[in-house]
Amino acid sequence: MQTEGRNAVFELLKSGATIEKILMEKDPQGSLNKIFAEARSRGVRVQFVDKRTLDSKSVTKKHQGCIAYSTDYKYSSLEDIISAAPQGDGFVILCDGVEDVHNLGSIIRVAECAGANGVIIPSNNSASVTEAVVRISAGAANHMKVAKVNSLNGAVDRLKEAGFWLYALEADGTSIYQADLKGNVALVVGGEDSGVKKLTRQKCDFTLSIPLRGKVNSLNASVALGIAAYEVVKTRL
């Protein structure tokens, strides 16, 4: 969906809608700066372009220097995901700052294939479920519960209250092949560059690693999650 005009775009931001990106004229002035600040606070990508580009993209021809692109994806709540988890056998995935849409789409696809009960993402500094993510997930996003939460650490605390064990996937933890992944499991996968944030990691019960035998010292986030997710699946066969 395309939204044009300063007031309309600002109200769209305040509504909490899933916004894929905002096109904004270079050197923003006046209320455009307010829109830019709001977009940054919500982790929405802003792309600066010249007026000619905005004119060519505009449907109304009244864009006032900004055009927003949003999706109609319907998120679940954290409680929806917890309720969907079978007693003593729940499986949830948390994304801590996964900003690349390809990684998020692949993670949702893995989650659906592995039978996870839901995926949890933060509202800020994270990719959202856009049309691109749905496409990259091969449609899995249409079958997987995804919750967008204001605080990922708050979600960690709530999952602990609900009886989940939290496992951070990081480079210097215990080998995942030595872990007991029975019971209610929540895997936390970090962002492409920063990994699982320090506070989130401290809140987790365990830190697990995937042994690396080659010269490259890390795996793509969605690949790492895929390996870990199927270690959970193995315990349930």
pLDDT number for residue 38: 92
What are the tens digits of pLDDT across the range 177-218? 999 999 999 999 998 788 999 999 999 999 999 999 999 888
Q: Give Cβ neighbours of residue 147 (< 8 Å, ≥ 6 apart).
A: 75, 76, 77, 78, 80, 81, 118, 119, 120, 121, 155
CB neighbours of residue 71 within 10 Å: 17
Please name the helix (run of DSSP H) or strand (run of DSSP E) that holds residue 222, with its range, or none: helix 221-234
Domain 78-234 in this protein, CATH class: alpha beta
Rounded to an integer, what distance in angstroms lies between the CA atom of residue 30 and that of residue 53? 20
Whether residue 84 is predicted with pLDDT greater than 80 in this model: the reply is yes
Lowest mean pLDDT among 40-49, 85-94, 157-166: 40-49
Question: What mean pLDDT value characterizes the chain?
Answer: 93
pLDDT number for residue 48: 96
In the sheet that holds 46-49, the strands lie side by side as 2-4, 66-71, 18-25, 46-49
What are the tens digits of pLDDT across the range 131-143? 788 889 999 998 9
Whether residue 54 is predicted with pLDDT greater than 90 in this model: the reply is yes
pLDDT number for residue 188: 98
CB neighbours of residue 161 within 10 Å: 9
pLDDT number for residue 23: 97
Task: Specify the pairing of strand 165-175 against strand 118-122.
Answer: unpaired
Rounded to an integer, what distance in angstroms lies between the CA atom of residue 201 and that of residue 190? 10
Whether residue 144 is predicted with pLDDT greater than 90 in this model: the reply is yes
Map out the domains of the chain as residue ranges: 2-71, 78-234
The answer to whether 107 and 127 have CB atoms below 8 angstroms apart is: no
Q: Which residue has the tokens 């395309």?
A: 2
pLDDT number for residue 164: 98
Domain topology for 2-71: 60s Ribosomal Protein L30; Chain: A; (3.30.1330)
Q: Which residue has the tokens 């793509």?
A: 220
Mean pLDDT of 58-72: 90
Amino acid at 23: L
DSSP assigned state of 177: G
